Amino acid sequence: MITHETRGDLAVWPRSARPATDGDVLLGGVSLAELARHHGTPTYVLDEGEVRHRARAYREAFPDADVYYAAKAYLCRGVAHWLRQEGLGLDVCSAGELELAVVSGFPPERMLLHGNAKSPEDLRAALRLGVGRIVIDNGAEVARLASRVSAGDRQKVLVRIVPGITAGGHEKVRTGTEEQHFGLSLVDGSAQHVIGRVLAQPNLELVGLHWHLGSQITDVKPYLTAVRRTVGLLARLRDQYGAVLPELNIGGGHGVAYRTGDTALDVPELGRRVRAELAESCAATGLPVPRLAVEPGRAVIGPAGVVLYRVLSVKRATAHTFVAVDGGMSDNPRPALYGVRYEPRLVGRGSTAERRATTVVGRHCEAGDVLVRDAPLPADVHPGDLLAMPVAGAYHLSMAASYNLVGRPPVVAVAEGRSRLQVRRESLSDLRNRDIGL
């Protein structure tokens, strides 16, 4: 049987990926070369079966917990629909994400709103639509939120704390330390202070604490340390305010493999060890075990996505071969932002040419628009060829821009031999129409 681990050079691709004739790859039973011909390039392909499989794996790893998918990784109506069917909740961080999910039929009570700088519009939308929980990030938000809750209502809230832990794949995505701007510090007492103010608001119901250590974390230990520290705080809150909080949300951040041989976080192990640590620490302090919640984004959607690019030019410089494709930092800013590495593959044509270190660059007007440095690609890659990059489902399109007025790519879902356009390509008229003239 072909397993995820033994699929050789398709190791980081969705489980459904199969090599096909003429260098093609089938994803969800659909030919990538055919999708590129039909939809043009760049195109993002999402494997529905992989997303559903990953969502189910979370529910198994965290039984008796709430699994909120972090919409910031990528959201469209189709994805919201799949995840609702799989029983997940949704973590949103703007009125935009919230409204899109509600339009897709996602129950607002299964959503949670985040943000270190929630706008009045975000708060209004959350209260109007009846979002289940709002995560308070700072002191200024307490009165701002409380004053908007209708008389007689009680909004469930959590307070985001900083557990003081360094974890995450890049300094720009580490949010568990004191040196960043999300959440409230345990060290300077601001967490306890703001919690006291929340408890004093009759129309806010404090149901728990929240933290999010960072993103692309591959080790469970930081989560265990954070759980221990949080239980310490829970005990202090009980002693100081008599408050016993029934929920603990430990955020997301679970790392995935971008290239063959990369380490991914072991989600079942995370589930087992976090639950054990929580039970033990609570027993030691005489607290009831709070209900857990997790918020994975990347680990649900990242490995389910593949992006297809067409090669437009090949340039041989002294030290490099540059292969330029028709997308770039506008649809995938991650290499430029975090220096991350991908594993591109020639698809739609077989090649026996030797492999050569090749730098895949984008189409934008910056020397920094490098998608992959020194990827081992066949030496005969030429204009017209198709390149596919796996693990493209998270933080590509959700962070995409229209730099150089290049429209954002479409999203096509594949499953059981069929494909469906979920989001169309951003057209030149979409871009033009926002400009209302002189």
Annotated binding site for substrate: 298, 334, 338, 366, 395
Q: Binding site residues for pyridoxal 5'-phosphate, as ranges? A: 253, 295-298, 395
For residue 347, what are the contacts with CB-CB under 8 A and spacing of at least 6? 23, 24, 25, 32, 33, 308, 386, 387, 388
Place of tokens 């909740």: 89
Which of ligand LYS, ligand PLP, none has residue 334 at its interface (CB below 5 to 8 Å by kind)?
ligand LYS
Instruction: State the Cα angle at 111 between 107 and 112, rounded to 5°.
Output: 160
Single out the residue of 173, 191, 292, 415 in contact with ligand LYS (rule: CB under 6 A).
173
* Partners of 306 in beta bridges: 45, 390
- Which tokens hold the place of 265? 């976080």
Q: Which is nearer to ligand PLP, 175 or 358 (CB)?
A: 175
Residue nearest to ligand LYS (CB): 395
By CB under 6 A, tell whether 176 contacts ligand PLP.
no
**Least Cβ distance, residue 424 to ligand LYS (angstroms):** 24
SS3 breakdown of the chain: % helix, strand, coil, rounded to 5? Answer: 35, 25, 40
Nearest to 210 by CA among 288, 148, 156: 156
Please confirm, yes or no, whether 282 is among the known catalytic residues.
Answer: no
By CB under 6 A, tell whether 89 contacts ligand PLP.
no
For residue 403, what are the contacts with CB-CB under 8 A and spacing of at least 6? 329, 330, 364
Place of tokens 């493209």: 392
Reduced to 3 states, what is the DSSP secondary structure of residue 44? strand
**Least Cβ distance, residue 269 to ligand PLP (angstroms):** 16
Per CB under 6 A, which region of 4-12, 70-78, 191-199, 222-230 contacts ligand PLP?
A: 70-78
Single out the residue of 14, 28, 49, 252 in contact with ligand PLP (rule: CB under 6 A).
252
Single out the residue of 15, 118, 254, 396 in contact with ligand PLP (rule: CB under 6 A).
254
Cβ atoms within 10 Å of 370's Cβ, excluding its own: 18
By CB under 6 A, tell whether 198 contacts ligand LYS.
no
* Partners of 112 in beta bridges: 91, 133
Which residues, 296 to 335, sit near ligand PLP by CB under 6 A?
296-299
Q: Which amino acid appears at position 149 of this protein?
A: V
Cβ atoms within 10 Å of 187's Cβ, excluding its own: 9
Single out the residue of 10, 12, 25, 70 in contact with ligand PLP (rule: CB under 6 A).
70
**Least Cβ distance, residue 217 to ligand PLP (angstroms):** 8
For residue 6, what are the contacts with CB-CB under 8 A and spacing of at least 6? none
Q: Binding site residues, as ranges? A: 253, 295-298, 334, 338, 366, 395
Which residues, 294 to 353, sit near ligand LYS by CB under 6 A?
334, 338
Q: Of residues 76, 93, 282, 365, which has the active-site annotation?
A: 365
Which residues, 53 to 72, sit near ligand LYS by CB under 6 A?
72
Which of ligand PLP, ligand LYS, none has residue 91 at its interface (CB below 5 to 8 Å by kind)?
ligand PLP
CA quadruple 81, 87, 93, 96: dihedral, nearest 10: 20
Q: Which is nearer to ligand LYS, 188 or 219 (CB)?
A: 219
Give the separation between CA 392 and CA 394, rounded to whole angstroms: 6
By CB under 6 A, tell whether 230 contacts ligand PLP.
no
Q: Which is nearer to ligand PLP, 92 or 186 (CB)?
A: 92
**Least Cβ distance, residue 45 to ligand LYS (angstroms):** 19
**Least Cβ distance, residue 30 to ligand LYS (angstroms):** 26
**Least Cβ distance, residue 180 to ligand LYS (angstroms):** 11
- Note every long-range contact of 270-274, with CB atoms under 8 Å and residues 24 or more positions apart, other chains counting: 270/61, 270/220, 270/223, 271/60, 271/61, 271/62, 271/65, 272/61, 273/220, 273/223, 273/224, 274/220, 274/223, 274/224, 274/227, 274/250
Reduced to 3 states, what is the DSSP secondary structure of residue 99? helix
Single out the residue of 16, 155, 192, 215 in contact with ligand LYS (rule: CB under 6 A).
215
**Least Cβ distance, residue 114 to ligand PLP (angstroms):** 5
Which of ligand LYS, ligand PLP, none has residue 254 at its interface (CB below 5 to 8 Å by kind)?
ligand PLP
Single out the residue of 395, 413, 414, 419 in contact with ligand LYS (rule: CB under 6 A).
395
Cβ atoms within 10 Å of 23's Cβ, excluding its own: 18
By CB under 6 A, tell whether 15 contacts ligand PLP.
no
- Which tokens hold the place of 194? 């703001």
Q: Which is nearer to ligand PLP, 54 or 363 (CB)?
A: 54
Supply the residues annotated as catalytic.
365
Binding site for ligand LYS (CB under 6 A): 72, 173, 215-216, 334, 338, 395, 399
